[in-house]
Homo-oligomer: A and B are copies of this chain.
Amino acid sequence: MATILGQNQYGKAENRVVKITRDGDTHHIKDLNVSVALSGDMDDVHYSGSNANVLPTDTTKNTVYAFAKEHGIESAEQFGIHLARWFVNSQEPIQRARIRIEEYAWDRIATSDANSKFIGSDEVNHSFVRQGMETRVTQITYDGTNWEVISGLKDLVVMNSTNSEFWGYVKDKYTTLKEAHDRILATQVSARWRFNWSDDEQRMPNWEKSYAETRKHMLQAFAETYSLSLQQTLYQMGSRIINHRSEIDEVRFSLPNKHHFLVDLEPFGLKNDNEVYFAADRPYGLIEATVLRDGVDARIPVDMTNL
Contacts and interface: CB of A to CB of B under 8 A. Distances in A.
A246 to B, nearest CB: 11
Contacts of A226: 123
Interface in A5-23: 5-21
Contacts of A291: 3-6
Interface stretch (A144-152, A201-209, A275-283): A275-283
B177 A159 contact: no
A220 B272 contact: no
A69 B126 contact: no
Contact of A268 (B16, B49, B62): B62
Contacts of A268: 62, 66, 173-174
A89 B41 CA distance: 45
Interface string A219-244: 11011101111011011001100110
A176 B224 contact: no
A75 interface: no
A288 B12 CA distance: 12
Interface string A266-306: 01101010111111111111111111111000100111101
A212 interface: no
Nearest to A63: B174
B51 A228 contact: yes
A85 interface: no
Interface in A61-95: 61-63, 65-66, 68-70, 90-91, 93
A37 B46 CA distance: 35
Contacts of A278: 16-18, 65
Contact of A301 (B62, B63, B129, B302): B302
Contacts of A303: 301, 303-304, 307
22 contacts: A1-B294, A3-B293, A5-B290, A6-B252, A9-B302, A12-B284, A15-B282, A16-B283, A46-B289, A49-B229, A51-B166, A51-B169, A55-B170, A56-B175, A62-B268, A65-B276, A70-B270, A123-B224, A129-B159, A131-B132, A132-B134, A132-B157
Interface of A: 1-21, 27, 29, 31, 35, 37, 42, 45-59, 61-63, 65-66, 68-70, 90-91, 93, 106, 109-112, 115, 118, 123-124, 126-134, 155-163, 166-177, 184, 219-220, 222-224, 226-229, 231-232, 234-235, 238-239, 242-243, 250, 252, 256-257, 260, 263, 265, 267-268, 270, 272, 274-294, 298, 301-304, 306-307
Given A19-B277, A53-B170, 12 more contacts: A3-B243, A13-B283, A20-B161, A20-B277, A27-B162, A46-B231, A49-B232, A50-B228, A51-B166, A58-B175, A90-B172, A111-B223
